[in-house]
Structure 1
């Protein structure tokens, strides 16, 4: 008898009946999953979610037509889930564990800021608010509760926001670094928080924000400078925590992002035409070393956020930017995790709150 060829091109693939019971069960499961994915991959009419006349980018048409592949789907890397739309633009996960950490970060910042969601003097009745990089949408939703008469639009690369939101709050999947096509002079207030890890071209974004604010409108950024320091010299330069962040910074730099941009944001606002630019700096303790009760609680939150975030913070910059393997990252993080528990280190990071106003008159649009 002629021996059976090993070439897949000469031998027909096995039929379902040729499979073992275990193989049939696996095939059934795969077919069920595929059918469910096909059912989920439906196009969504964005007409309800983009009725706000003030924000839209050139990506919206393509996003609406290819939703099944670029918006509702996700990509997975090193065991974590990442956004699929504009894949690679943001180097950190968006899975449920990371969402919990982001919500904890929100609570930490609000407590540090004395319960305030913003510092820009936007009055009691702002009409149109944009939240860039809204994440889980928690800030936008709380602003919707605080200003029930406002239209609040939250924009992010990931569709991870809840469906049930306050009236007037809407979420869109989009990239704020794309061209904004909607009318100029629309928003009363534009807000961004924790965006320094995501924005590559700050001057360009500043110009777009300026153009789309109403005359007299406000722009506010709340950004942490992820460079741990100590006021009493208790954290040596070779401590694993600052070394960890130096590597994160180097990895992001290789990917076109500048963690130190936070130090220049106020100057960039002024160069973009904003006036009345003010900076407030709040120091976030790492750990419970402060004597002040509020700062002690904030420090506990922040250390928990940083320790729980070691892997999601490091994986993208280290593997994508520095070429490390996941195994190398895991080994290094054991040392860093232990170092965060050093009670003798009195470390903190500064939170910069920067507000700027578009002039009422006399400044030409930059579009």
Structure 2
């Protein structure tokens, strides 16, 4: 199953411009208008697909996972799955089609934590046909038809792992900052289960809105929304700004050759660079389409709002995306490190 953009990767020169964008100012364009589940190891905490795992809960018209209910606060229904695949397309455009930055050498055993729709695992399995790729997630929402070297399993990555130690060549995590409650513990666990010389890579959006030209109004509704989301998640023990700590956490866990790359993700099609304008189109759609699903449990259960209060507030948030004079962006942080060849 190819990714939505796999057949039209960015031009090399555009990708190069994107790769160094965190160190440069994004030039604004001249117009303000828009242009098969299987368990490899028996586990008391890992659950193969069964009728109970396929149960869901419903709230405010959205569907949520049932296994480890409440661990993940956001929907897993079809509209959210489409948004997750769109985020994958956005990241591929942003990173010049690359699925990873860790310098892998013929990986044979790969773990994708929080695999979601499984789209990254499927693409990775296609790119590395000799690798065995296992994607784990709380929700059984991945497709049945996948490459023969890709398998999925329902599991809670923050429960004790029972995978063999020194087993994986590569452990990949993406878009999990909004759900992990103890990231250092997960990193330490990854260290145990990686082979000596294996790599971990964490890819996360950093939800703090910025601009290079101070064009974000003080009363910007989307900025307010981000603040409320961070505050709501804090009540559940989740630090949405934790990606800023990843580099130090990998080093503290004993990883070597730790490297961080930071990219700018425009919100809107305002960049002059066409690749970044395309990324910005994805970025804005990612934000707008996720407003209701990302707000409901976070605001009602975390901040004590009513569902009606949330919907009224979201009207202003949606309107804030229509202001083409705002040249805002989030950042996307890629951080990877290597387990010492001699082990730890």
TM-score bracket relative to the smaller structure: 0.7 to 0.9
Q: Gapped runs of 5+ residues in structure 1? A: 1-45
* Aligned twin of 1:226: 207
1:286 maps to 2:267: yes
Q: Is 1:58–1:178's contact at 8 Å kept on the other side of the alignment?
A: no
**Contact in 1 for aligned 2:196/2:343 (Cα 8 Å):** no
- Contact 1:189–1:213 (8 Å) recurs in 2: yes
RMSD: 1.4
Matching of residues 194-273 of structure 1 within 5 Å: 194-273=175-254
Aligned counterparts of 2:164 and 2:343: Cα–Cα separation in 1: 19
**Are 2:105 and 1:119 aligned?**
no
Equivalent residue runs for 1:136-147 within 5 Å: 136-147=117-128
Match in the other structure for 1:107: 89
Q: Is the 8 A contact 1:189 1:218 kept in 2?
A: yes
Superposed, 1:35-46 pairs within 5 Å as none
| From 291, 297, 302, the counterpart of 1:321 | 302
> Which of 38, 47, 63 pairs up with 1:49?
38
In the other structure, the counterpart of 2:139 is 158
Q: How does 1:74-113 map to 2 (within 5 A)?
A: 74-113=56-95
Gaps of 5+ in 2: 1-35
Give the number of the structure with larger relative contact order, counting CA–CA contacts within 8 Å between residues 6 or more apart. 2
Count of aligned pairs: 309
1:158-198 Cα offsets, whole Å, 9 max, x none, are 00000000011000001000001121000000000001011
| CA deviation after TM superposition for structure 1 residue 237, in Å | 3.1
Give the C-alpha shift of residue 336 in structure 1. Answer: 0.2
- Give the drift of 1:131: 0.3
Inter-partner Cα distance in structure 1 for 2:250 and 2:44: 24
Partner residue in 1 for 2:150: 169
Instruction: State the Cα deviation string for residues 255-309 of structure 1 (Å, max 9, x = none).
Output: 1100011110110010001010000001000001110010001101110111111
- Aligned-residue offset at 1:319: 1.2
| Range with bigger deviation, 318-327 or 290-299 | 318-327
Deviation at residue 362 of structure 1 after TM alignment: 5.1
SS, match of residue 82 in structure 1: strand
Tell me the distance in 1 between the aligned counterparts of 2:92 and 2:297. Answer: 27
Q: Are 1:190 and 1:213, in contact at CA under 8 Å, matched by a contact in 2?
A: yes
In the alignment, the residues of structure 1 paired with residue 231 and residue 301 of structure 2 have an alpha-carbon distance, to the nearest angstrom, of: 11
Aligned partner of 1:128 among 94, 106, 109: 109
Could you tell me how far apart the structure 2 residues matched to 1:232 and 1:282 are? 17
Q: Does 1:72 align with 2:78?
A: no
> Secondary structure at 1:258's aligned position in 2?
coil
Q: Which structure has the bigger radius of gyration? A: 1
- How far off its partner does 1:57 sit? 5.0
Q: Tell me which residue corresponds to 2:16.
A: none
Q: Secondary structure at the match of 2:254?
A: coil
What is the rounded CA distance, in whole Å, between the counterparts of 2:98 and 2:301 in structure 1?
Answer: 36
